Every structure is written in structure tokens, then in C-alpha cells.
Amino acid sequence: MAPVSINNVRKSYGALEVLHGVSIDIADGEFVVLVGPSGCGKSTLLRMLAGLEDISAGEISIGDRVVNGLQPKERDIAMVFQSYALYPHMTVEQNMGFSLKLARAPKEETRDRVAKVAAMLNLGDYLDRYPRQLSGGQRQRVAMGRAMVRNPEVFLFDEPLSNLDAKLRVQMRSEIKQNHHRLKTTTVYVTHDQIEAMTMADKIVVMHGGIVEQMGSPLELYDHPANLFVAGFIGSPA
Ligand code: ADP
Ligand code: MG
């Protein structure tokens, strides 16, 4: 767990600036949802938190460390992608334990840790299966399990449920929240789905065209939208 501070962060690709000075403070253990239309800069901001993109201007801190310029592996974060990005030739157990193996954790410890997280995610009976033998929901759980075994300070999710059908999405939302209640890991969760934002967030950050339009609790945004964009975006059904 750690607080995250994003301070007047800008991002340009060549001459094109896509983030125009974004500031967000995230408390230790908070579940923050970044929401906004496609192309508004959500993934770019998340990738900057992860260290997968450089920061053109401004500052990002995780815990008490400024992380500008630190490589992804030097940051204590784990990211879950929409595509899951599982290794097809590895079993569930190997996928989930891979980062610990890279970190040269003792085998026993890795096996115990993976078993514990797998049980939390209802994957205990699937440890010997390969990704192709799993359902979409199970693959998504493995992707989350892979992040959870590392016990990072911060979880980053980029539209993790977009590839699932509507019913499974509802179930996975509540599973992700349950895990957050248990682990209390600081989480930044990106979605373009208003319902996901309203049901999951401690704090919602509404982005639009590379700026933050408003942030606050779901209720604050719903009751007191700062402008028409927020009102339309939060108010309209997905
Ligand atoms: P979102 O995740 O909210 O849909 P992105 O962060 O992916 O938005 O993209 C924000 C803007 O930055 C978009 O206009 C996109 O076209 C642009 N962009 C993203 N990545 C690159 C890149 N590697 N090179 C140039 N432009 C990019
Ligand atoms: Mg995106």
C-alpha cells in the first residue's frame, strides 16, 4: 500500500500534447477509477504510472519516492491489462508464479503464495491448466492473480473487463471489489464504462481531452456535477 501523487503531469507525442497538466492525489488504500471517453488519455496516464511511458513534464510519486525516470521493475506496482497477456505455454500456476520466479523467490514460498492467491480467486482446481483451457472469466482471474502474488504497493487496471460478457462483468466487478476490501491495495482502475465507475470507485476522476474535468465520490459527482460534460457522462446509461 502507498499513496500516489500525480502532479501537473503532461505528455506529448512529438508536437501533439495529449495530457495537459493532470493532478490527482490518491490516498493509501484508495480505489480510484479514471473514467472518460476513448482517446482522452486514460491509458497514457496509467502507462506513465507504470513506467511504460516517459513523463514529458510534472511529477509522479508512489509512496515517498518520485518515480519519474524509474523503470517499471523499479516501481512496486502491478498492472492488469484488457488483453490479460497470459503466457500461453505456461500453466495457471506457472503464469501466476512467474514474477516470483524471476525475483528468485524460493520454490516453496512461491508455491504457497500462488496457492493462497489461487484459492482467493477460486482458481485452486485449475492450477495445472493452460490459458486456452480456461473461460474468459478464469483468464481474467489468472491475470489478476499474477498481479496479486507480487503483493505490490499499487494495482493498475486498464479496462480489465472489456472482453467479458455483461453478466460476467458484473460478477468480476464485485470480485475485484471484494479483493480490494481484503487486501486494501491502492488501486487505479481505468474504464470508459460509467456504471463500472459508479459502482466500484471510492473516488472517480472524470477525464476529457487530456484534462481532469472533476473528481470526487460517485455521489458527489452524481449530485453536483461541475459541468455539462460530467453531468452527461455520469448521468447517461452505459
Ligand atoms: P484512452 O485510454 O483514454 O482511450 P489513450 O491514452 O490511449 O486514451 O490516448 C490518448 C491520446 O494519445 C489519443 O489521442 C491517442 O491517439 C494518443 N496516443 C496514444 N498513444 C500514442 C502514441 N504512442 N503515439 C502517438 N499518439 C498516441
Ligand atoms: Mg485506453
Query: What band does 236 get if pLDDT is binned at 50, 70 and 90?
Result: low
Mean pLDDT of the chain: 93
Give the pLDDT confidence score for residue 238 in this predicted structure. Answer: 44
Distances from the Cα of 79 to the Cαs of 17, 73, 103, 145, 153, in angstroms? 24, 11, 17, 11, 11
Give the pLDDT confidence score for residue 69 in this predicted structure. Answer: 92
What cell numbers appear for 200 in the block? 466500484
Is pLDDT at 228 greater than 60 in this prediction?
yes
Q: Where are the alpha helices (DSSP H) in the chain?
A: 42-50, 92-102, 107-120, 136-148, 166-183, 194-200, 218-223, 228-235
**Which residue has the least CA distance to atom 20 on ligand 1?**
44
Query: What band does 10 get if pLDDT is binned at 50, 70 and 90?
Result: very high
Q: What's the CA gap between 132 and 95, in Å, rounded?
A: 13
Distance from Cα 161 to the centre of ligand 2, integer Å: 12
**Which residue has the least CA distance to atom 24 on ligand 1?**
13
Give the pLDDT confidence score for residue 45 in this predicted structure. Answer: 98
Q: What is the ipTM of this complex?
A: 0.98
Residue pLDDT, tens place only, 109-144: 999 999 999 998 899 999 999 999 999 889 999 999
Does the beta carbon of 87 lie inside 6 Å of ligand 1? no
Span 11-20, mean pLDDT? 97
Does the beta carbon of 37 lie inside 6 Å of ligand 1? no
